[in-house]
Structure 1
Amino acid sequence: MTKSVILGALTVAGLSAGAAGAATLDDVKDRGKLNCGVTTGLVGFAAPDANGEWQGFDVGVCRAVAAAVLGDPSAVEFVPTTGKTRFTALASGEIDLLARNTTWTLSRDVDLKNEFVGINYYDGQGFMVPKALGVSSAKELNGATVCIQTGTTTELNLADFFRANDMEYEPVPIETNAEGQQQYLAGACDTYTTDASGLAATRATFENPTEHVILPEIISKEPLGPLVRHGDQPWGDIVRWTLNALIAAEEFGITSANVEELAANGTDKPEVNRILGVEGTLGEMLGLEADWAVKAIAAGGNYGELFEKHIGEKTPVGLARGLNAQWKDGGLLYSPPFR
């Protein structure tokens, strides 16, 4: 093959990749709404309220992306997905974005051809037991029946933990968190295992939450975050930098209450001005309006506002910031620079 033919083939391939990459953004704009995959219902993260409106920490990411792209945080169609159906829904194009407490792993990234665009919650797998069981450590669960959601990273983590500690267990497979809650409360399993944040959210819905204990052991690393399809780089960039904008906004003191005033008047901080679209052309680079981040932050607030409103210590879920604190406060939360 001649050099000119090779270059021609590379050019065609590059153009095709670029066209495919722009497809989701075009589809969302043409449709006028974002199709966002969420959990089937996990209080604090994604669940319909009494009026049927979806609320939660992950829901906030969906609404921020819709606001950045369409200028309307309500222009979202929420698509409930299970541990088994979530990746198929994304790969098939049924959803544009998956924001469903999903762990970033190598196989999910590479083999399933997903693109994780960031981490919005640093988590780890834990165990919940009834206080009446008298168990204070996961290492006391030898012979236990365990409710575990299929199609999740928790299955392998569970097997590894029990094998490493020379213990046995009997799995009770479940499809959804609602089914897990029902089985656990009915006594079909001695313990329920999933991400610790999910356990806290589940316990918050119980009639008597104090009668249940989340054991101290965290047996895995579960970096949770939104994801898109491989081969859709422009769309991935938009979701990635929308999440980063929410994280950076908290660091720089940009809130839902002051973001529009700051954008109107500008600040003495160049990076803040670039986030707000007052300086530079970051919005243009993403194929969005200059105030895309202003709209995203105004939709539900910065990262800290979303955390405190939906899953923070003053909510029924009651999660401390911990690893999810800003880097300057001893946590892992960190946005790359806006420049």
Structure 2
Amino acid sequence: MRKRGVLTCGVNPGLPGFAFPDVSGRWRGFDIDICRAVAAAALGDANKVRFVPVTAQDRFSALQRGRIDILSRNTSWTYARDASLGLDFPAITYFDGQGFLVARALHLSSADELAGARICVLAGAASEANLADYSRARGLKLAAVRVGSEAEARSLYQGGGCDAYTADVSALASARSVLDNPAAHEILPDVISKEPLGPVVRQGDPAWTDIVRWTVYALVLGEEMGLTSRTVAQARRTAVDPQARRLLGVEGRLGPMLGLSDDWAYQAILQVGAYHEIFRRDVGEDSALKLDRGLNALWNAPRPGLLYAPPMR
């Protein structure tokens, strides 16, 4: 990657909030910023990324074949994927779960009321198997309408080709944000699975896995320490807290342990932002999705979530 001078990152072809090209062709979104942070840490420049759109069906083979260095594409960490594909899941960047998007006009209060309904679901994704399990366990006889992409699912659902659309709740919020009338649709309260999302790399290169893992943790620790892309430069000059000084490369010489510069974490936060900045900008209150932090809040937040990073020492 260093010889090439650019990080190749596999991303969703178009999922607002997570990965999408804007009107000028610049890629934006939560998963995009994770790759940009890794590039800042490993190459010193968040812009040294080439984004490669990959479908749900070919994302793992693209990584296995070496077409991409990292997959950052709203991908769930599961036992089978971890154990059988020759891939590693370095860290969880977004705690999610599968839900259902329906028209408000149906006046539904629970997914259990969808008995016999046609459900749009992405073929080959974890959501397809989850839907089958949910239908079977409850005897709902849901009819899966398999589609090839999120864009196809949105179009078919909006056109009445299915009664509901099931996917990760974050993906449903993304889909709803670009429908003709977002307010006419709601996400039911039922969450039928656990979907820990995060980047994926090939097995066999533990140093690369650690670089990706600790870049994610650096973004989380940055939030814990109250750092932002605007304040981190001043903090690097004035910080007295030992953990902050180690994170920002002022003392401890932690970067070289992974073959990185002393300021690798500082560069990731400076150029891309701490976790809360990325969340807020891409999928939170400053975005069209308006997603609540929920499970993705820090472990010690006033409303605690699951976000937790090992100590920097």
The answer, yes or no, to whether TM exceeds 0.5 is: yes
In the alignment, which of 295, 298, 305 is matched to residue 326 of structure 1? 298
Q: What residue in structure 1 maps to residue 234 of structure 2?
A: 261
> What SS does the corresponding residue of 1:148 show, helix, strand or coil?
strand
Q: What residue in structure 2 maps to residue 287 of structure 1?
A: 259
Q: What residue in structure 2 maps to residue 45 of structure 1?
A: 18
Structure 1: gaps (5+ residues): 1-27
Partners of 2:252 and 2:146 lie apart in 1 by 52
- Runs of at least 4 residues of structure 1 off by over 3 A? none
Partners of 2:57 and 2:238 lie apart in 1 by 46
1:69-148 map, 5 Å = 69-148=42-121
How many Å apart are 1:137 and its aligned residue? 1.2
Q: What residue in structure 1 maps to residue 197 of structure 2?
A: 224
Higher helix share: 1
How many Å apart are 1:304 and its aligned residue? 0.2
Q: Contact conserved, 1:71 with 1:295, CA < 8 A, in 2?
A: yes
Partners of 1:68 and 1:146 lie apart in 2 by 42
Partners of 1:47 and 1:203 lie apart in 2 by 15
Deviations 1:9-45 (A, max 9, x none): xxxxxxxxxxxxxxxxxxx111111000111111011
Partners of 1:69 and 1:121 lie apart in 2 by 22
> What SS does the corresponding residue of 1:30 show, helix, strand or coil?
coil
Q: What residue in structure 1 maps to residue 270 of structure 2?
A: 298
TM-score (norm 1): 0.90
Partners of 1:101 and 1:152 lie apart in 2 by 11
**Counterpart code for 2:103:** P
Instruction: Tell me whether 1:273 sits opposite 2:245 in the alignment.
Output: yes
Q: Aligned pair count?
A: 311
How many Å apart are 1:315 and its aligned residue? 2.1
Q: What residue in structure 2 maps to residue 5 of structure 1?
A: none
> What SS does the corresponding residue of 1:290 show, helix, strand or coil?
coil
Deviations 1:237-294 (A, max 9, x none): 100000000000000011100112222x141110110010000111100101111111
**Counterpart code for 1:101:** N
> What SS does the corresponding residue of 1:327 show, helix, strand or coil?
coil
Partners of 1:81 and 1:315 lie apart in 2 by 24
Identical columns (%): 52
How many Å apart are 1:150 and its aligned residue? 1.2
Bigger Cα Rg: 1
How many Å apart are 1:195 and its aligned residue? 0.1
Partners of 1:188 and 1:101 lie apart in 2 by 25
TM-score (norm 2): 0.98
Structure 2: gaps (5+ residues): none
Q: What residue in structure 2 maps to residue 174 of structure 1?
A: 147
Deviations 1:60-96 (A, max 9, x none): 1000011111111111110111111100010000000
Partners of 1:182 and 1:298 lie apart in 2 by 39
Partners of 2:124 and 2:67 lie apart in 1 by 19
